[in-house]
């Protein structure tokens, strides 16, 4: 089964060709970082337009890289929710057009659930049930996964996603955009004990997360309290930036691992741990996930760097199972922001 996958839910335009759910023949991802950099965040209108302008060329590149043609495509998959609606719509329209023109099945998958498949590309399916953790710029969600399409949400962020907190931390520290990777690099040079940032606990909601307080603590701790003489990000020394980034990263990663530890206690039958999303590229999170999985005797599936960020290979991969188990979607498949 050769599937052509589309992903356009935020600011990456991506098309992939995947065989049998796991074998990635091509994965083309065009980032829009340069279009949004001056705004310090994704501008939905610019993102939607850029997807529309670029997607046709990216399909051609993916087919060429996969050394295949439309005639050999057996199904078309698209992440049809959630995301910026103007962006998701571009992928959905493109996928529907190709599926209709080729007369092959169309499959819609949930973008966040697809992130959990990214660690299974070029690898085997682990034993179920699993815990799933998706950490990205838009989502921080903890799942119990009984099978690829049986994902139950155990917890999620009640405010900022962890990636969003990283991006805001980068802005506060004058590190620029995109933020996550820059905070990660700065943190590797810093001392994580200089600042004691909080790990918020939500009363009666042990598996939910909150990251907006961490960002505020960083602002007050490093730039000063409102009403006092506050500093500007550009006034910070390199050492202060690195120490603040390291202390922030320690609190953010420990909060995620604490959530996993609590979920593990509530679900002692889980065998595996699936992790995905842009923040799964984080060096400290990867190290701590390895240790956690080892301590808990869980099989860890975490994607290589190239599949941590949004990509279409994870969409085409998961779609293969969905098609086998649930059949195709209709051509009236709706794009949805949620």
d(CA 199, CA 64): 47
The item of Zn ion, ligand KG4, none sharing an interface with residue 178, based on CB under 5 to 8 Å by kind, is: ligand KG4
Closest CA to 136 of 314, 310, 293: 310
Judged by beta carbon, residue 135 or residue 252, the one nearer Zn ion is: 135
**Mapping DSSP to helix (H, G, I), strand (E, B) and coil, where does residue 148 land?**
coil
* Total residues interacting with ligand KG4, rule: CB under 6 A: 20
Q: What is the DSSP letter of 157?
A: B
The item of ligand KG4, Zn ion, none sharing an interface with residue 163, based on CB under 5 to 8 Å by kind, is: ligand KG4
Judged by beta carbon, residue 19 or residue 310, the one nearer Zn ion is: 310
Judged by beta carbon, residue 1 or residue 43, the one nearer Zn ion is: 43
| Binding-site string for ligand KG4 from residue 3 to residue 22, where x marks contact by CB under 6 A and - marks none | -------x------------
Judged by beta carbon, residue 35 or residue 181, the one nearer ligand KG4 is: 181
CA dist 300 to 6, 110, 188, 228, 276, Å?
Answer: 26, 22, 24, 47, 11
Q: Is 278 in the site for ligand KG4 (CB under 6 A)?
A: yes
Structure tokens at 223: 């730039």
d(CA 75, CA 106): 6
Q: What is the DSSP letter of 305?
A: G
Q: Is 274 in the site for ligand KG4 (CB under 6 A)?
A: no
User: In this chain, which of 5, 86, 180, 190 binds ligand KG4, going by CB under 6 A?
Assistant: 180
Judged by beta carbon, residue 10 or residue 246, the one nearer Zn ion is: 10
Q: Is 137 in the site for ligand KG4 (CB under 6 A)?
A: yes
The item of ligand KG4, Zn ion, none sharing an interface with residue 98, based on CB under 5 to 8 Å by kind, is: none
Q: Which stretch binds ligand KG4 (CB under 6 A): 164-172, 229-237, 253-261, 320-328?
A: 164-172
Taking the complex as a whole, how short is the minimal distance between the CB of residue 281 and ligand KG4, in angstroms? 4
User: In this chain, which of 27, 32, 87, 136 binds ligand KG4, going by CB under 6 A?
Assistant: 136
CA dist 296 to 197, 262, 302, Å?
Answer: 27, 12, 16
Q: Which stretch binds ligand KG4 (CB under 6 A): 74-82, 135-143, 206-214, 228-236?
A: 135-143
d(CA 160, CA 164): 6
Q: Which stretch binds ligand KG4 (CB under 6 A): 17-25, 71-79, 132-140, 240-248?
A: 132-140
Q: What's the CA angle centered on 130, arms 124 and 132, to 5 degrees?
A: 100
255 Cβ contact partners less than 8 Å away, ≥ 6 residues apart: 162, 199, 200, 209, 211, 214
CA dist 75 to 96, 125, 329, Å?
Answer: 11, 21, 11
Within residues 189-218, the interface with ligand KG4 by CB under 6 A covers none
CA end-to-end distance (rounded Å), the chain: 29
Q: Which stretch binds ligand KG4 (CB under 6 A): 159-167, 206-214, 224-232, 288-296?
A: 159-167
Closest CA to 111 of 79, 145, 141, 86: 79
Residues that bind ligand KG4 (CB under 6 A): 10, 136-138, 163-164, 166-167, 178-181, 184, 277-279, 281-282, 309-310
């Amino acid at each position: 089964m050769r599937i052509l996958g589309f992903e356009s839910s935020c600011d990456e335009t991506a098309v992939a060709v995947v065989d049998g759910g796991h074998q990635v023949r091509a994965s083309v991802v065009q980032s829009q970082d340069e279009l949004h950099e001056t705004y310090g965040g994704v501008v939905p209108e610019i993102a939607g337009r850029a997807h529309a302008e670029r997607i046709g060329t990216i399909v051609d590149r993916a087919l060429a890289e996969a050394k295949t043609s439309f005639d050999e495509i057996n199904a078309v998959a698209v992440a049809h929710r959630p995301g910026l609606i103007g962006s998701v719509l571009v992928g959905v329209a493109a996928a529907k057009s190709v599926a209709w023109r080729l007369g092959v099945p169309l499959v819609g998958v949930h973008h966040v659930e697809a992130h959990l498949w990214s660690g299974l590309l070029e690898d085997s399916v682990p034993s179920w049930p699993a815990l799933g953790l998706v950490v990205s710029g838009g989502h921080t969600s903890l799942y119990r996964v009984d099978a690829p399409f049986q994902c139950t949400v155990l917890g999620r962020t009640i405010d900022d996603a962890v990636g969003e907190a990283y991006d805001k931390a980068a802005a506060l520290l004058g590190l620029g955009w995109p933020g996550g990777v820059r905070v990660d690099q700065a943190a590797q040079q810093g001392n994580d004990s200089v600042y004691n940032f909080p790990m918020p606990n939500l009363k009666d909601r042990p598996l939910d997360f909150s990251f907006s307080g961490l960002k505020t603590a960083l602002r007050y701790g490093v730039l000063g309290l409102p009403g006092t003489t506050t500093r500007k990000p550009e006034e910070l020394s390199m050492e202060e930036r690195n120490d603040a980034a390291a202390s922030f990263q320690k609190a953010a990663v420990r909060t995620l691992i604490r959530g996993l530890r609590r979920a593990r206690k509530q679900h002692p039958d889980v065998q595996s741990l699936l992790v995905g999303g842009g923040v799964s590229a984080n060096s400290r999170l990867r190290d701590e996930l390895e240790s956690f999985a080892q301590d808990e005797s869980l099989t860890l599936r975490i994607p290589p760097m190239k599949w941590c960020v949004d990509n279409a290979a994870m969409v085409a991969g998961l779609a293969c199972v969905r098609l086998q188990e649930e059949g195709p979607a209709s051509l009236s498949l709706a794009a949805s922001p949620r």
